[in-house]
Amino acid sequence: MNYCGPADEDEYQVKSHRHCSCSIVLSCSGIPCVCPTGPTGATGATGATGATGVAGATGETGATGVTGVTGATGATGATGATGVTGVTGATGATGVTGATGVTGATGVTGATGVTGATGATGAIGATGVTGGTGATGATGAIGATGVTGATGATGATGATGATGVTGATGATGAIGATGATGATGATGVTGATGAIGATGVTGATGAIGATGVTGATGAIGVTGVTGATGAIGVTGATGVTGATGVTGATGVTGPTGATGPIGPNFASTGFSGFLSTLTIATSTQLTNWSTASPYYGHANFNAVTGNFTVPTTGRYTILATINYSTTAAVTLSLGAGVNPFFAVQRTSPSAVNLVSGFLPILNVNVALVLTLRAVLGNGEITLAGDVSLSAGDVIGLFYNAAGLTISINIGSGTTGVVWSMHQIA
């Protein structure tokens, strides 16, 4: 394509092809300035760049020329340099995975590693929602204004240098070679700042206008003298308690406390004896006990005499179940003071009944018909109690007739008497 410049442009190259030539006008012999493009000639050597001329005044932009017809394609030029390597092709599909190899023998277990340091304390739970702001306390008295510091003297403004005369615009020369950049000229001395004028009289305070949008926070001024502390405002209502934060990690377990003293082996010290039958008519101690299984004895229980010597000071439980029957029918009414009973008694170091129980007595008084007070023909007495005993105390189970003269059969054979004592503390 050949270009035809406007009439006011210089130095455009004029090319010709056959009878058609292009000049700086917009047509060639009445034909639009379009000439077939010939083969591209070899590029000439680049000329040296001329010195940059003084920039001339910018001319007016000429009208845009009509686009010429596209010329015929020129002969193919020599092969250009090798182009940039193309983008790497996509990676091929992954091959089939090979069969898994035989698992190797398990290695020897390594020594246990040193216990790691205790982990860091868990993060503090999220802060609870801030409670509502309490009512604003009354404003304290305004403190006295601090003394204003003296203003430093302003330096004098330097004189402005005179502006140089603007040179005439030269004609546009050929573009020369770029010259070296000249050194930057020294910065002129800053002139002294003029003195600040006196401050005018402060005008009267105007009415307070509506509060404007809060401006950006200014720089913090010099702190004035602290004013007197204002009265403390009324305390605002307590805000709503914030949500409980996430529970922190469990703390390290404290050291184990010292082991307490060993308590007694519950009920390991004691005995249980059985007496199948014994006929008695007067007060006496029950003797000749059996400790054969399922009953059991103890080194401090003498089954023949019926005495249990307390081995260790402590608390003991006493249990006894006594079955009896009279050997004959009652023919006489008992006196008012006749009250036979059974009792577990301490005989040494001093005699005292520990737990006791009366034989059941029928007491009848039907006017003009019958007055009778008699022990029942058979019955059961149960003794139970807990007592504190000292080592060496001697304990036995006794029958106290208390004036009863008839014989009674203790145990009655199969039902018998069961007596037991055990240390519980």
User: What tens digit of pLDDT does each residue of 125-154 get?
Assistant: 565 465 565 565 565 565 565 565 565 565
d(CA 303, CA 256): 47
Q: How many CB atoms sit inside 10 A of residue 183's CB?
A: 6
Closest CA to 16 of 44, 39, 37: 37
Q: Reduce the DSSP state of residue 322 to 3 states and report it.
A: strand
Taking the C-alpha atoms of residue 324 and residue 380, their distance in angstroms, rounded to an integer, is 6
Dig out the tokens for 304 from the structure: 């023949």
Location of structure tokens 């006749």: 338
What are the pLDDT digits (tens) for 305-318?
999 999 999 999 99
Provide the token pair at 345. 């008694």
Residue type, 358: F
Position 309 scores a pLDDT of 97
The reported pTM is 0.40
List, as one string, the DSSP characters of 328-396.
S---SPPPTT---EEEEEEEESS-EEEEEEEPPEEEEEETTTEEEEEE-SEEEEEEEEEEEE-TT-EEE
Strand partners, 285: 398
Using CA atoms, how far residue 235 sits from 73, 135, 231, 357, in Å, is 94, 7, 12, 74
Confidence at residue 294, expressed as pLDDT on a 0 to 100 scale: 95
User: Using only C-alpha atoms, what is the Rg of the chain?
Assistant: 65
End-to-end CA, the chain: 125
CA-wise closest residue to 344 among 406, 303, 395, 387: 395
pLDDT beneath 70: ranges in the chain: 1-41, 43-44, 46-47, 49-50, 52-53, 55-59, 61-188, 190-191, 193-197, 199-200, 202-203, 205-209, 211-212, 214-215, 217-218, 221, 224, 261-266, 369, 413-414
Question: What does DSSP assign to residue 62?
Answer: P
CA dist 269 and 300 (Å) reads 9
Q: Which residues pair with 419 in a beta bridge?
A: 273, 320
**CA angle (262 as vertex; 259, 263 as ends), nearest 5:** 130
